[in-house]
Every structure is written in C-alpha cells, then in structure tokens.
Amino acid sequence: MDIPAVEALGLTRHFGQKTAVANLNLTVAEGEFFGFLGPNGAGKSTTINMLVGLLRPSQGTARISGIDIWQNPLPAKRLLGVLPEGLNLYQRLSANEFVRFVGSMYDIPAPEVESRAAELIDLLDLTLDADKLIIDYSHGMRKKTALAAALIHAPRVLFLDEPFEGIDAITGRIIRDVLQQLRGQGTTIFFSSHILEVVERLCTRVGVIADGRLVAEGTINELRERAETGSATTLEDIFIKAVGATADVQNSGKLSWLK
Amino acid sequence: MGLNKRRVNSLWRLKGRLMLRSYTRERGRLVGAIMAILFLGPMVIAAAIGSALGYLRLPDPWPAQLLGFILVLLWFIWLIFPIFFSSLNEAADITRLLIYPLPQRDIIASVLLGTLFDYPTYLMLPLLLAVLIGWGASLALPVVIIAILLGFAHMIFIGLLVGTALGGVLQSRRFRDIAIIFTALLGSSCYFLQVGFGRLIENVTQNMSQEELLALQPLPILQWFPTGAAAQAIAQASDGQWIAALGWLFYSSLWLLLIVWAWWKLIVRLTTGEGFLFARAPRPQKEIKTAPARAATLPIFLRRLPPDIAQIMSKEFKSIWRTPLRRVGLIQGLLVPIFMGGFILIRNESSISSLTSFNFIGLGLPLYALFIYWVTSFNMLGWEGKGLPVLFLTPVSRRRIFLGKGLALYIVASLSFLLVGIIFTLVLGNWVSLGGLLTGLISGFTTIGVTAVFATLFPSPIHQESRRRRSSLSTRGGCLPALANLFLLVPLIFIMAIPAAVPLLLAYFFDLPWVMFVALPLSLAYALPIFWLGCRHSANLLATREPEVLAATRVED
C-alpha cells in the first residue's frame, strides 16, 4: 500500500476558548494536487501550520510521507516546501541572497544551489530586482521570492497557503504554470485558496473546511454528486452548500435602501 | 460657511476611540504615557509655578523676556517632539480621511479638538495657564487670551507639520533607516549633550560680567518666531501699546496660516503620490538584463566552514549590518566607554595621565566585554523577526543554527570590543589591561553560550522597523522574558565568566603576570566547551518548543 504524502490524524487546535480546528482527519496521496477550501477564519492556515510543524496541535498529529512531523521534524521538513500565508522572509536580504540561503539549508551542493536559484529567479521574473532588499519589494515580488525559496530544494510535498492572493494576473499565470509543471513531475501539492476557479482548474481533489471541521472531501465530480446539484453546478455552488452558507447567500445582495 | 458640527464631532470621537484603543491594545504605550505624566508632570507644574512667579515678581524687562523664552521653548519642544515620539499611530493619521468628501476646515477643527486626547497637551497647559495668571490681570486680558490660543495652535500645527514631513521622509526606506539610527543615537547621547551643555553654561556664566549678562535680552530675536511674536503681543498690550500688540498678533497669525497651509499641502502631496516636497521625475527605464542575477558569494574566511554554518553566519552578518536597530545596538555599545572617557576628560583634563597609574582599570575590560557580548547576542531568535519560520521550516540541524549564529555574533561583538579594548590597552599600557582584553575575548564564548539558552527559553518579539530600540528588556514580550533577562541572565553571564577570569584575578592580586599568560589557555579550554554546550542545549530545547518560540517572537504588522 502506498504511503500517503500528507496525513492529518485527529488534528485539533484550541486558542483559548475557541476551537480553530477540530479533530481533522485528512489524507492526500502522493502526486495529488489537493485544494483546501474554506471561508475566512475556517481554520485553513491553522491546519497548514500544524501540518508543516509551525504550530503545535492541541491534539492529534501529522505525517509527511509517513514521517510524523512532530516526532521526527527534521526528516519530515526535508521533504517539504512551504509558501506560508505570512510570507516569512528575511526582509533585509535580497531575493538572490534569500533563495540561495534557503537552498544551502537543504544540503544541496553549492553549484547546484547557484544554478537552481538563478533559474528560479529568472523564471519568476525577479531578475531585475534580485539584488534589491526584500523590504523594498511589492507584495507580488515577495510572493514570488517566497515561492522560489519553497521550490529550490525540489520538495516532494509543497504546501501553498493562498498563493494567488494579492498578485496580478501575469504573476498568477507564472505561478500556475510552475505548479502545473510540478504536478507533472509528481510533486504533491497541498493548496489553499479563495479563488475557486483556479482550484477547479488545477486540483485533482478538494477538501472543504468550515468552523474548523472538514465538511466535504473528494474529487469535484464526487462532491457534485454528493451535493445532488447536477453536472452544471460550479465549485462555488458546491462550496457554498458544503459550508452551509446557502441561506446567507440567498438573503444577501439585497439592500433595503438601494432601489 | 461654518463647521459641520456633527461631522467634526464624529471625527473627534473617532480620534478618541482610536487613541483609547491604542492604549488598551498596546500596554507598553499606556505604561509609557503614565510614566511620562508621572515623571514630567511635577516638573512641568514646578516650571509653571516658577514662571508665573517670574512674570509677577521679576523686575522689568525680565517678565517679557521670560515669556518669550518659554513660549518659543515650548514651540521648539513641539517641533522636535514628533522626531522622537511619532509612532505613526492611526489616530494621528489624517491621510485616511482624504478619500471622504470632508472640507478642510472640518478636518482642521477636529485635529485641534483631538489634541484633547493627547497627554502632551496637558503637559503644556500648566505653562499656558501660568501666562494667563502672570499677564491676564490687566486690560490686556483679551490680547493675552488670543495670544495663548494662537500659541497653542502654533504648537499643535508645527508638531503636525514636522510629523507629516517626517512621515513623508519615512516613506523611503533609506531615509527611514537613517532616521532610526539618528533617533536612537541622539537619545542615547542625551547624557553627553547634557554634560556638554552644562559645561557651556558654566563657561558663559563664569566668563561674562553682570552687565554683559543683563544685556542678553532674547526677546528682540525671539519675537520673530511664531510664538515669540505672541509673547511680544502680550508684552506690548500690557504696556498699553495696542497697535503694536495687534501688529504682532497679525504677524503670528500669518505664520500660523503659513504653517497650516504647508501642512495641508504636504498631506495632499503625500497622499496623491506627488512625492515629498518636489514631484519625482520619472526614472529612466533600466536596461533589461538577460543574464542570470549575480551569484551571492561567501566571504573568504567562511568558505572553509560547513556550508550551512557558513550561510547562517553570512546571513547574520548581513542582517546585523542592514538592520538599523542592530547597528544602533553596536554603536551604542561603542559609545559607552567613549562617553565615559569623554566625561572624565570634560571634568578634568589631567584625568588621562592619572588613569595610567591605576592598574585595576584593566580589570574593567572583561566586564565591558560581558556587556558587549550580552547586548549583541541576547534574544538572538527574536532578532530573526519574520525570517524565523523560514529557519524552522528547514531541516538544518538546530545545533548548527546556534553554532552559526553564535559564531557570527561572537565575531561582531569581538570587533566592537577589540576596537575599544585595544585603545584602552594602548592608553593604559600595562599588562593588566592586556590581560583584561584577552580575558574579555575569552569570556565572550561563555556569554554567548548562556544567551543562546536564554534566547530559547525566554524569547520575545522585536519589531525591526521600529524607530526605537525595543528589546526583551521592554514589556513588549511580556514580563517574564524581561525579568528573566535582567535578573537571571545577567547574573548568570557574570557567574559563568568568573572561571575564565580566574587567571587574570590571580595574576593581579599576587602581582604575577606570567600566571595569567600561562593560564589563559585553560580559560579558553573552559569557555569553548561552555559555548558548545550552550549551543547544544539550546538546540535540544528548541527541538521541543519551536512553535512556542515562534508564537513568542511573532511580530504584528
């Protein structure tokens, strides 16, 4: 039996009185492009942070390619690439320096780091500004820098938290092409996004989280069948039904004072 | 067209709400405000009582001179205030209002009323009240009231103008970096400036005759300043010179109009992207490079080290050099002995010759070394800022992270220490200071070994773009790290360094220099394992608490 690329086993996280994620069980097979959807504050980033070892779960654990990230963090992290929501970057390094620094943390030979970094910076259209400090970058440039750093060691599992948020169409297209290429090479991608059209186009399977609970999981066709909404239904309809916001949506868009 | 009262009221209440929340959400601000009021309040009240007595009791022409001096001094304080204390809080940021259809007069009125929520306003009021008491008991009362209100408006708007201009300057990262360094260094050199100023006053009062001192009437110069003109108006009105008084009020009003106009113009320019002061010329299009970006290379002395440790050290060097607050820390460390030496020289020019006759001063060098290594290396994980999750996501051995960071910090702190230590050793020219220098360098390893453990146990957030140097010693990271750093870390650094200093102490007390030079390798043999054990223990601790360290060092935007 194949070892899943990502496993969440009863992941739970409390912040004081609030339960951000409750008993989340999830499996992503190797090579899958998994879309992780949910409304704002549903627990997507909390889940991703627990899966990659940045946030300790109150209960449960997570495995990356069979390695428990909380028991054996370093071997698990060797397999991971992460584009976190907060784009954690060393603001006083340039993209050139940052990407090379991250590359050298993965025991990649120095000439290999050099050639990969140059290629990534070129591909992500950062060449012109590669020697400027990251603190002077726009949001899109920071996102591309963080993506380059997440890719430099050719991770087996890539976590992307809202990669398309706040970036322009050209950058979005570049990132989408890179992701397609990674998918073609068998990289497992765990991807959270609000942009359902992108999820629908890229993902082989999706999971929907609402109020910290996984409320739906499967391929888009499976979800369509379960939602009993017909083949013409969009992912947006499925999503709205899954998170139980149908009534909210039906009542919205009507302002009494706008005539 | 008058003011829209409802709108002004809404704006005023908005400022009040934001101000209140800035205090409730950030306790450090509240503590700072309370401390400022408790510290400055009694001083201001004493100054107000003194100035009121001066206005009433001093012989002519001194009450008017004093009035001019105080009003101009207050104006200057408000002019300088934003340089040190503007933290760009949203309550003071009126640029956010410019997208709404609000007339300029409503915004200006709300800004003036909004000063009622600023505690510095209340620190100014006693001195203005003293003016009313000192000058108001005459027919000049209407002029006095108008002049006080004018003076008040002047102070508020000059503060706003400087604050806005500074905000414009701070839009550029390079200027912001310079401002951070300038502000921090000016703050830390206040003591030295105070000593120098005291010395200047001493010289002036000792060398000038009484007649020369009496001839130093400042009002003829101060009257040309905005609030000096208001003071002159009060003085003229109390002498019955009504026309002259109105003339000075008019002159002061023109200044106010000019300042308000400049402030508003600047806000509009900055908000509409026209640039600070002058419109930016479009930059020539850069030639597009097709070659891959320049490869970042390691300094020669790092190339023989394991690549991950070398890269961590290289990153640490860049980060220290490029982060203004970290540079400030190093410069401040260097300034301490320079200021102390300067202070001694100011007090007594012959001190330098007497210094050389005291051997024991060399014993102070290891203590100074402990200070430098502590200042440079404490809260080493907090200083990673937003980059810390990057480091924690990598599979690099945590021990190597601490080794890399520790060695880099050791080198940086040693350079600072050597700069001062070598000067002292050359000036003192005795074996004790040379021993102190070497012992100091060795004790750096024990210090960093200890600070690495504390950085893991008691980390705290550091906002690297802040204009004031905040650290684990502030309350920002909570009380525990601050208390631990002060009451546990400092004594422990000292205790752990004692064995390394034993050869120096033995040699000094028994006057046997050779003992020290023979035994110093033993000190090193003690200090290096402490450094290594500190890094190893920190790494073991970190393995069990990475998410907690991340949470403790998280910096909000």
pLDDT at A232: 57
SS3 content of chain B, % helix, strand, coil (to 5): 80, 0, 20
Question: What is chain B's mean pLDDT, rounded?
Answer: 81
Chain B residues in contact with A106 (beta carbon < 8 A): 394-396
pLDDT exceeds cutoff 50 at A190: yes
pLDDT at B170: 59
B85 Cβ under 8 Å from any chain A Cβ? no
In this structure, are residues A46 and A13 in contact, taking their beta carbons and an 8 Å threshold?
Answer: yes
pLDDT at B293: 46
Q: Which two tokens stand for residue B298?
A: 């390691």
B242 Cβ under 8 Å from any chain A Cβ? no
Q: Which of A102-116, A226-240, B114-128, B417-431 has maximum average pLDDT?
A: A102-116
Closest CA to B552 of B460, B434, B422, B441: B460
Closest CA to A116 of A66, A61, A154, A82: A154
Q: What is the mean pLDDT of residues A24-47?
A: 92
B556 Cβ under 8 Å from any chain A Cβ? no
Q: Which two tokens stand for residue A92?
A: 């006083």
Shortest CA distance from A90: residue in chain B: B387
Closest CA to B235 of B69, B348, B369: B69
Do residue A78 and residue B293 have CB atoms under 8 angstroms apart? no
Do residue A55 and residue B288 have CB atoms under 8 angstroms apart? no
Q: Which of B285, B311, B391, B540 to mutate to test the interface with A (most CBs of A within 10 A)?
A: B311
pTM for the full model?
A: 0.74
Q: Percentage of residues in chain B with pLDDT exceeding 90?
A: 33
Q: Which two tokens stand for residue B470?
A: 């905040």
Do residue A54 and residue B550 have CB atoms under 8 angstroms apart? yes
pLDDT band at A195 (very low <50, low <70, confident <90, very high): confident
In this structure, are residues A152 and A113 in contact, taking their beta carbons and an 8 Å threshold?
Answer: yes
Q: What is the mean pLDDT of residues B71-99?
A: 72
Do residue B173 and residue A128 have CB atoms under 8 angstroms apart? no
Shortest CA distance from A146: residue in chain B: B390
CA-CA distance, A207 to A214, in Å (whole number)? Answer: 7
Q: Which residues pair with A14 in a beta bridge?
A: A19
Q: Percentage of residues in chain B with pLDDT exceeding 70?
A: 76
CA-CA distance, B233 to B221, in Å (whole number)? Answer: 14
Decide: helix, strand or coil at residue A6. Answer: strand
Q: What is the mean pLDDT of residues B309-337?
A: 82
pLDDT exceeds cutoff 90 at A89: no
Shortest CA distance from B297: residue in chain A: A97
Q: Which of A50, A89, A91 to mutate to test the interface with B (most CBs of B within 10 A)?
A: A91
Do residue A91 and residue B288 have CB atoms under 8 angstroms apart? no
Question: Which carries the bigger pLDDT value, residue B201 or residue B24?
Answer: B24
Q: What is the DSSP string of A86-141?
A: T----TTSBHHHHHHHHHHTTT--HHHHHHHHHHHHHHTT-GGGTTSBGGG--HHH
Q: Which two tokens stand for residue B385?
A: 């800022």
Do residue B393 and residue A82 have CB atoms under 8 angstroms apart? yes
Q: Which of A76-85, B90-99, B481-490 has maximum average pLDDT?
A: A76-85
Do residue B387 and residue A89 have CB atoms under 8 angstroms apart? yes
pLDDT band at B9 (very low <50, low <70, confident <90, very high): confident
Nearest Cβ partner of A130 from B293, B318, B392? B293
pLDDT band at B475 (very low <50, low <70, confident <90, very high): very low
- Lowest-pLDDT range of B5-14, B146-155, B369-378: B5-14
B141-170 and B119-135 helices cross at what angle (nearest 10)?
A: 150
pLDDT exceeds cutoff 90 at B450: yes
The string of pLDDT tens digits covering residues A1-16 is 689 999 999 999 998 8
pLDDT at B460: 87
Decide: helix, strand or coil at residue A35. Answer: strand
In this structure, are residues B440 and B366 in contact, taking their beta carbons and an 8 Å threshold?
Answer: yes
Between β-strands A157-161 and A80-83, what pairing exists: parallel, antiparallel or unpaired? parallel
Chain A residues in contact with B307 (beta carbon < 8 A): 104, 107, 110
Chain B residues in contact with A156 (beta carbon < 8 A): none
In this structure, are residues A78 and A27 in contact, taking their beta carbons and an 8 Å threshold?
Answer: no
With vertex at residue B309, the alpha carbon angle to CA B305 and CA B311, rounded to the nearest 5 degrees, is 100
pLDDT at B472: 41
**CA-CA distances (angstroms) from residue B27 to B22, B462, B474, B476, B477?**
8, 16, 11, 8, 11
CA-CA distance, B93 to A250, in Å (whole number)? Answer: 39
Burial of A58 (C-beta count, 10 Å sphere; 0-12/13-18/19+): middle
- Name every residue whose Cβ is closer than 8 Å to that of residue B453 and which is 6 or more positions away in sequence: B534, B537, B538, B541
Chain A residues in contact with B387 (beta carbon < 8 A): 88-91
Question: What is chain A's mean pLDDT, rounded?
Answer: 87
Within its chain, how far is the Cα of B147 from the centroid?
34
pLDDT at B314: 92
pLDDT exceeds cutoff 60 at B362: yes
pLDDT band at B109 (very low <50, low <70, confident <90, very high): confident
Do residue A52 and residue B393 have CB atoms under 8 angstroms apart? yes
The torsion angles phi and psi of B378, rounded to 5 degrees, stand at -70, 150
**How many angstroms away from the CA of B422 is the closest CA of chain A?**
32
- Lowest-pLDDT range of A228-232, B177-181, B191-195: A228-232
Do residue B315 and residue A105 have CB atoms under 8 angstroms apart? no
Q: Percentage of residues in chain A with pLDDT exceeding 90?
A: 44
CA-CA distance, B156 to B163, in Å (whole number)? Answer: 11
The torsion angles phi and psi of B404, rounded to 5 degrees, stand at -60, -50
CA-CA distance, A71 to A80, in Å (whole number)? Answer: 15
Q: What is the mean pLDDT of residues B424-443?
A: 88
- Identity at A90, one-letter amino acid code: Y
| Interface predicted TM-score (ipTM) of this complex, two decimals | 0.82
Burial of B157 (C-beta count, 10 Å sphere; 0-12/13-18/19+): buried
Nearest Cβ partner of B386 from A54, A77, A88? A88
Nearest Cβ partner of A106 from B286, B394, B551? B394
pLDDT band at B414 (very low <50, low <70, confident <90, very high): very high
pLDDT exceeds cutoff 60 at B296: no
